[in-house]
Each structure stands twice: as structure tokens, then as C-alpha cells.
Structure 1
Amino acid sequence: MAPPTRRSVVTAALATAAAGILLPPRTAAASRPAPRPPALRRAHAHNDYLHPRPLHDALDHGFTSVEADVFLVDGELLVAHEATGLDPARTLASLYLDPLLARVRAHHGRVHPGYHDPVQLLIDIKTDGAAAYLALDRQLHRYRFMLTSYHDGRVRPGAVTPVVSGDRAARVPMEAQRTRHAFYDGRPEDLGTTAPASFAPLISTSWSEVFDWQGTGPFPAAERARLRTLVARAHREGRRIRFWATPDASGPEREAVWTELLAAGVDHLNTDDLAGLERFLRAHDRNTRGEDARPRA
């Protein structure tokens, strides 16, 4: 075989270069990560820490609210459902605050790229309410640059809004503060009181304490009216609303209750089934990003 001439080498090089000009768009498109689906502003992960990857599983499903139960142990806030399940390695900081901070830094000040409302971190204090809150307050101060904050009557939105639930004794030290990096999970009896939305932006209660209907058969008209009145009252005061202990076993009863909650404008749908609620909301909730006008503290 004859050796290649200079002309043939140049021609081959030009052909390769030409191919390179044509190929990159397809190659770049193929390697570009698929766009993330919109975040789900109504999705709340109940007992989030019981999933294989606390926080991360919920965020991967688009959730914008997660719940962590905490116990104060030797000055540290440990995450567990029961005291018998405490593990010194499972701290609020390691499971939630540090990963949230990493995401906020990676996504230019947001937990979910393109989602401009705060993500809610609902912290359920199981025991020692006042002492646990004071320990939490000291810890949150170290993460204050990513947190929604309150100072002298004004709320400054951040990427993450901690909301304190559980042991009601936490309320006393919280109300005494001029500056806070957390907010209070109120109850229906807080509606119409002097406790402002800047203190208690969320109203939560057990579904079964207010309603008998569990998704079987038609929703009684009187209970539907009660639900919508309660939601409208919370929204008039600039608060969000959530029900815990709604039916959560996969099936028509759960979907019926979720449908009524969605139609009434309930802000957070509570579940342990991340994939199930994601499928429901992507199919039924038109506004998945949550760009609405209500205060989002």
C-alpha cells in the first residue's frame, strides 16, 4: 500500500474537523441532564427521617416540606421517631441542616432550582420543649444565612423556613424573642387571636379530630363546608394549613381525601408515600411551583 500523501492527510483532517463541527450539538444534547420536574409546593413528607435517604428522597420527588422529630440528648438534637431509636450519628444537623446548606450553595440560594419559595423544615420536638427549642435556636443561628428570619415584626424570607411543632412548651421562649430563625406550628384555636402569621404561619391539626369522613362514599356537605371555611379563614390571616393523620394507604379512599384537600386549597398534603403523592400531584395540581401571593414564611 502506498504511503499517504500530504494532500490526503490534509483532506482527511479537514473531513474530521467538519464532522466535529456537525457532531457536538447532538453529543451535547445527549449528555445534558434531563430538566428537573417542577417542585411540588403542596407535598409534605411526614416522618421524613424514616425513608432510606432522609431529606434527599423527599427532595428527589419534588417535595417542598419535610418533617423531622427531634429529642434533646446531652445538648444535641437527635432525630428519631421514638426514644428507643436514638442514634448519636443521626442529628438534625447531619441529616437536614448540613445537606440543605449544601444544596442552597449549589443552587444559587435555592433548595430546588427554579423554585423561589422557601422549603419548609418542620421540626417536631418530642420532649423538653423549652430546653430543646433553646438548643435548636443556638444551632439555627449557625445556619441563619439560608433561613427565613423574624426581627422586630418583620419577616425576611430565606431558602429554608424552620417551623417548630410538637411539645407546646417551646412556644414560651419563642414568643419572647425579638429575633428568631424559626416559626411556630399553630393550631386552629390560634386563628383569630393576637398570635400573628409572622409567629405562627402554619396551622396544623389531626384530620380525624375535625372530620369523620375517611374517603369512603361522598364527602358530607357539612364537612366539606367546614373544611373550606377553615382553609379560607387561615388564608385570610396569611397562614398555611396542614392536616396530619389523613388516610395514607394507597387506594381510592386516600385519593378521594387528597382530591378534596386539593380542591379546598389546603397548603400541605401529608404523606409517608413519597412516590404516591408525587404521582397524584403531578396529575392533579396545576400549580406545582407554588408562585402564589400568600406569605411563605
Structure 2
Amino acid sequence: MHLMKQANTLATMIFVVASFTFVNQVDAQEDRRLPVVHPHAHAHNDYLHARPLLDALDQGFCSVEADIYLVDGELLVAHDRDQLKIERSLKQLYLEPLRKRIKTNAGKVHPDGPGFTLLIDIKSDAESTFLALNELLGQYDEVFTRIDGDKVTDKAVTAIVSGNRANETILAQSPRFVGIDGRLSDLNSDLLAHQMPLISDHWGRNFRWRGDGAISDDDAAKLKNIIQQVHARNRRVRFWSIPDKPIAWKTLHEAGVDLINTDKLKELSVFLQ
């Protein structure tokens, strides 16, 4: 009887240990699950997050934004000049991690996901910064979409220049590794989609609605008209300084806005799921 009790106790202990191990393995597998990919999610001022690029990727974002300054030949990432640090370069925070990830994922940022957008907001001199940027991106030819004349070679990441834009210099460059982020004043521009793939503008300067209650009929009609014009030219549309909360995300998403601007990565990711 004593031996039987010992055997039962041992069996129970083995079962408990095995169950605990199985649960831990399941938890580990859950932790390694790929995120739900969100083609419409855009990480505004992405570099301000604890882990630039990586936090956005962990939430399934397909578009991120980085502000850059040209300083002594280096492209450094920061919102304001007094925040610049040599170790926070565009290369270290974005280009190298993207190259590594694309190599790991057989040519894509997200496995089996759509294309990825790197929106680069130039804060320093438009022309010299662009030329340095284009040269740098050329060192990552396997990562970034390349344009030679009117020939477009699509890659995993499309780079788009915003902020200070030297449009004529950009369009004259060949090969070119960036497109131009247009404004609402460019709605009727004759530029091709690979030259100006995106139209972005300030929400509050163009709409009265601030995310309280339902959007007005006038603003809804204006938004619909803008989206129709943008899509007719095979471009995408984005607004910054939107009311950064679910009612605005829902309104813009349902209207057909292509990139929803947010500083709240996890919240928008959960909302879009």
C-alpha cells in the first residue's frame, strides 16, 4: 500500500510538471506569434517610441515616419535639432534593421505581408539632405523601390520624402529611391504615381471636425471628394494632426483614408483588429 501511494504521488508530480511545461511552451508559442498586419496603420514620429521601428513592427504597422537632419554628412533622426545624437542615425535606427528583417523574411518586412512605407520628413536643407539620402538609400538597393526614368523596380520598402522637398532635384535624379509626399494643393498634379505616391495634409487646417460626435455632412463630403481624387491618380492619402482616438480612426478608416496617423501604436493595432 505504501509503495502504491508513493507511485501515485510520483505520477501526480510528473503530471503536474508535464502540464506546467506544456503551458509554458504554449505561452512561448503565443509570444512568438506573428502580429496581425495592418496595411493602413502609420506610426507618426515613430522614432519617439522606446524601440523605433521595432515597436511599430510588433504591432503590425506597415508604415513609419522618421524626421531627419543632415549633420556633417550623417543623416540623424530627431524632431528638433537640439535632440540630435550621433548614435541615432537613419542607418542605425531604420535601414539596417529593415535590411536584416527583409533578409530573414525572404524579401518582405512582414512575412506574407504587403509593401512597407518609410516616410522620411526632411528637416534640414531640402536639396543637400535629399542628395545625401538618395545616395544612402542606394546602398540598400535590395531593400528600397528603385526608379530609373519611368522604370520602377518594386522592393519591400517604398521610401517617400516629406517636409522640406526639393521636388525638381528629386525628379531629376536617376536612379531615384524616393517618391514625393504631396499636399492637397497637389491633387491635380500631373506627376505619376511613382513620382508622387502619397498626398498628406494637416487635418485641422482642412476640416472643422475634431472628433466629438459624428463628423459633419460637409466635412464628410469634402473628405470623400479628396479621397476620390487621390485614388483616381493611383495615390494614397494621409492626414496628420487628426484627433488621435477611436472615433476618428473609425471615421477615416471607413471613409477610405489609406494611412491612419497615430502616436498610439498598440491602441490603433487593437482597434484595427
- Shorter chain as normaliser: what TM range? 0.7 to 0.9
Instruction: Summarize the alignment of residues 46-125 of structure 1 with structure 2, pairs less than 5 Å apart.
Output: 46-115=44-113, 117-125=114-122
Give the AA of the match of 1:270: N
Q: How big is each residue's C-alpha offset from its partner over 1:59-97, in whole Å with a ceiling of 9 and x where there is no partner?
A: 001000000000000010000110010101100000000
Q: TM-score, normalised by structure 2?
A: 0.88
- For the residues of structure 2 that align with 1:183 and 1:245, how far apart are their CA atoms? 22
- For the residues of structure 2 that align with 1:157 and 1:188, how far apart are their CA atoms? 26
**Which segment is superposed worse, 98-107 or 186-195?**
186-195
The residue that corresponds to 2:147 in the other structure is 150
- Gaps of at least 5 residues in structure 1 are 1-25, 249-253, 283-297
| 1:136 maps onto 2:133 in alignment | yes
Contact 1:154/1:198 (<8 A) preserved: no
Instruction: State the SS of the aligned residue for 1:209.
Output: coil
| 1:239 maps onto 2:238 in alignment | no
Instruction: State the SS of the aligned residue for 2:213.
Output: coil
The residue that corresponds to 2:192 in the other structure is 196
- For the residues of structure 2 that align with 1:189 and 1:279, how far apart are their CA atoms? 34
Contact 2:43/2:261 (<8 A) preserved: yes
**Which segment is superposed worse, 173-182 or 127-136?**
173-182
- Gaps of at least 5 residues in structure 2 are 1-21
Larger radius of gyration: 1
Instruction: State the SS of the aligned residue for 1:133.
Output: helix
- State the superposition RMSD in angstroms: 1.8
TM-superposed CA distance for 1:218, in Å, is 2.4
- After TM superposition, which residue ranges in structure 1, 4 or more long, deviate above 3 angstroms? 29-35
- For the residues of structure 2 that align with 1:280 and 1:212, how far apart are their CA atoms? 24
Among 264, 267, 272, the alignment partner of 1:276 is 267
TM-superposed CA distance for 1:35, in Å, is 3.3
Give the AA of the match of 1:165: S
- For the residues of structure 1 that align with 2:152 and 2:225, how far apart are their CA atoms? 27
TM-superposed CA distance for 1:32, in Å, is 5.0
- For the residues of structure 1 that align with 2:174 and 2:184, how far apart are their CA atoms? 24
Percent sequence identity is 44
- For the residues of structure 2 that align with 1:217 and 1:106, how far apart are their CA atoms? 45
Question: Number of residue pairs matched?
Answer: 251
The residue that corresponds to 1:12 in the other structure is none
Instruction: Summarize the alignment of residues 10-21 of structure 1 with structure 2, pairs less than 5 Å apart.
Output: none
Among 216, 219, 222, the alignment partner of 1:220 is 216
Give the AA of the match of 1:44: H
The residue that corresponds to 1:166 in the other structure is 163
Instruction: State the SS of the aligned residue for 1:258.
Output: helix
TM-superposed CA distance for 1:177, in Å, is 1.9
The residue that corresponds to 1:4 in the other structure is none
Relative distance call for 1:98 and 1:220 in structure 2 (3 A) is: same
Q: How big is each residue's C-alpha offset from its partner over 1:90-149, in whole Å with a ceiling of 9 and x where there is no partner?
A: 00000000000000000100111110x221000000011100000001100100111111
Q: How big is each residue's C-alpha offset from its partner over 1:150-189, in whole Å with a ceiling of 9 and x where there is no partner?
A: 1221222111111100013x21210112321111101112
Instruction: State the SS of the aligned residue for 2:42.
Output: strand
The residue that corresponds to 2:4 in the other structure is none
Give the AA of the match of 2:247: A
